[in-house]
Structure 1
Amino acid sequence: DGKLCTEGGGTIVLGSHGDVYGPGGQGVYDDPTHGPILYYHYVNTTIGYADGQKQFGWNKLDFSSGWPVTAK
């Protein structure tokens, strides 16, 4: 929202959407070709919620606005 996290601000970069539920365990990998990649695990609600059914996801991060935004 344009306010630094150290000043009580913050914006969700990636939340539940569509079949992606509860993304978490995230990290950022700086890919030499594609730039920063946000990776995470999540539950695909069309598959199931059991431990063995967790999925791995990733999205490119775009910082062109000065703040991280997930890109396709």
Structure 2
Amino acid sequence: MAKQGVHPSGRVVSVRLDEEMIKRLDNLSERTGRSRGFYLKLAIRAMLPAIEQKHWEHAAAQFEEDV
């Protein structure tokens, strides 16, 4: 069996969410006509730089402690 290539819009990643978050996401999606995926990608794009920055700050502080 041949392996499928990557879809043009990207690879699939799954995540488990609690019911309340899913309801909120679905309500937003219904009100705006946008998909769940649209808002999940938007949230990740918005938060990932801040999360990465915190990681590197922590890694730098740990390195200074270790040295």
TM-score range, shorter chain: under 0.3
Larger gyration radius, structure 1 or structure 2: 2
TM value normalised by structure 1:
0.24
User: Which has the larger share of strand?
Assistant: 1
TM value normalised by structure 2:
0.25
User: Which has the larger share of helix?
Assistant: 2
